[in-house]
Structure 1
Amino acid sequence: MNNMQQSAGQDWPRYKHEVALPGGDLTVYASDELFAGLDYKVLEMANNNLQIPGIEYMSYTPDVHVGVGTCIGTTAVWDAAEGYVSPSIVGSDIGCGMRVHLTTLHKDDLRDVKLRRKLVRAIERYLPMEAQQRGTYSDIRLENIVKKGLHGLPNKYLPDSYTPKKSTSLSHVEIGKLAFNEEVLNELPELAWHRGHRQLGTLGGGNHFVEIQAIEIADEQREVAEAWGLRDGQIAVMIHSGSRAWGGMVNQFCTPAFAKVMGKLGLGSADPRLIYAPLSHPEAQRYVQLMYSALNYAVVNRHLIAYAVREGFRDVFGTKCELKTLYDLMHNYAWEEETPQGRKFVHRKGATRALPAGHPDNPRPYAETGHPALIPGSMGTASYIMAGQNGGAANYYSICHGAGRARSRSATKRLVSVHDFSRAMKVGREDEIVVNQHSLEAILDESPQAYKNVDEIIESVTGAGLAAVVAKCVPLAAIKGTK
Structure 2
Amino acid sequence: MKEDYIQQVQLPSGVVHVYAGPELFKALEYQVFQMANNNLQIPNQVYMSYTPDVHVGVGTCIGTTAVWNTLNGYVSPSIVGSDIGCGMRVHTTNLHKDELKDVKLRRKLVKTIEKYLPVEDHARGHFSDIRLEHIVTKGLHGLPKKYIPDGYTPRKATSLTHVESSKFTLDENALNRFPDHVWHRSHRQLGTLGNGNHFAEIQSIEIAEKNREVAEAWGLFDGQVVVMIHSGSRAWGGSVSQYCSSDMLKVMRMNGLGTADPKLLFAPLDHPEALNYVNLMYSALNYAVVNRHLIAYAIREAGKNVFGSKFEMTTLYDLMHNYAWEEEHEGQSYFVHRKGATRSLPAGHPGNPQAYLNTGHPALIPGSMGTASYIMVGAPGGKANFHSICHGAGRIRSRSATKRLITLNEFASSMRVGTNDEIVVNHRSLESILDESPQAYKDVDQIIESVVGAGLAEVVAKCKPMAAVKGAK
Q: 1:333 aligns with which of 305, 309, 323?
A: 323
% same residue: 70
Give 3-state SS (helix, strand or coil) of 2:433's partner: helix
Cα distance between partner residues in 1 of 2:122 and 2:408: 30
* Aligned structure 1 segments of 4 or more residues deviating by more than 6 angstroms: none
Aligned to 1:392: 382
The answer to whether residue 471 in structure 2 is matched with residue 481 in structure 1 is yes
Asked if structure 2 preserves the Cα contact closer than 8 Å seen for 1:130 and 1:481, the reply is: yes
- Please name the residue that 2:83 is paired with: 93
Matched-pair contact (CA < 8 Å) for 1:12–1:32: no
Give 3-state SS (helix, strand or coil) of 1:373's partner. Answer: strand
On the 8 A contact 1:130/1:199 being kept in 2, the answer is no
Q: Tell me the equivalent position of 2:158.
A: 168
Counterpart in the other structure of 1:84: 74
1:263 to 239, 246, 253: 253
1:367 aligns with one of 332, 335, 357: 357
Amino acid at match of 1:95: G
Q: 1:219 aligns with which of 205, 209, 216?
A: 209
Residues of 2 paired with 1:143 and 1:291: CA distance?
15
Q: Secondary structure at the match of 1:148?
A: helix
How big is the shift at 1:121?
A: 0.3
Which letter maps to 1:468?
A: E
Q: Considering only aligned residues, what root-mean-square deviation do their CA atoms show, in Å?
A: 1.1
Pairwise CA distance, 1:101: 0.3
For 2:17, the equivalent position in structure 1 comes to 27
TM-score when normalising by structure 2: 0.99
C-alpha change, 1:448 and 1:134, in structure 2 (3 Å) is closer
**Equivalences for residues 25-424 of structure 1 within 5 A:** 25-130=15-120, 136-340=126-330, 342-424=332-414
Q: Which moved more, 1:13-22 or 1:46-55?
A: 13-22
Shift of 1:136: 2.9
SS at match of 2:4: coil
Change (3 A) 1:239 1:267: same
Measured after TM superposition, the shift of residue 130 of structure 1 is 3.2
C-alpha separation in 2, matches of 1:239 and 1:368: 25
Please state whether the residue corresponding to 2:228 is helix, strand or coil.
strand
Residue number in structure 2 paired with 1:7: none
Structure 1 CA distance, aligned partners of 2:123 and 2:407? 34
Q: Please state how far the C-alpha of 1:108 moved relative to its aligned partner.
A: 0.2
- Unpaired segments ≥5 residues, structure 1: 1-10
1:356 touches 1:369 (CA, 8 Å); kept in 2?
yes
Cα deviations by residue, 1:81-135 (Å, 9 ceiling, x for unpaired): 1110000000000000000000000000000001000000000000011357568
Q: Which SS does the other structure have where 1:56 is aligned?
A: strand
Q: Could you say what secondary structure the match of 2:241 adopts?
A: helix
Tell me if the contact between 2:121 and 2:195 (Cα under 8 Å) persists in the aligned partners: no
**What CA deviation, in whole Å up to 9, does each residue of 1:11-40 have, x standing for no partner?**
897000000000100100000111011011
Residue 426 in structure 1 maps to residue 421 in structure 2: no
Partners of 1:327 and 1:16 in 2: CA distance? 28
The 1:127–1:275 alpha-carbon spacing in structure 2 relative to 1, beyond 3 Å, is same
Structure 1 position 187, deviation (Å): 1.7
- Aligned partner letter, 1:235: V
Amino acid at match of 2:423: I
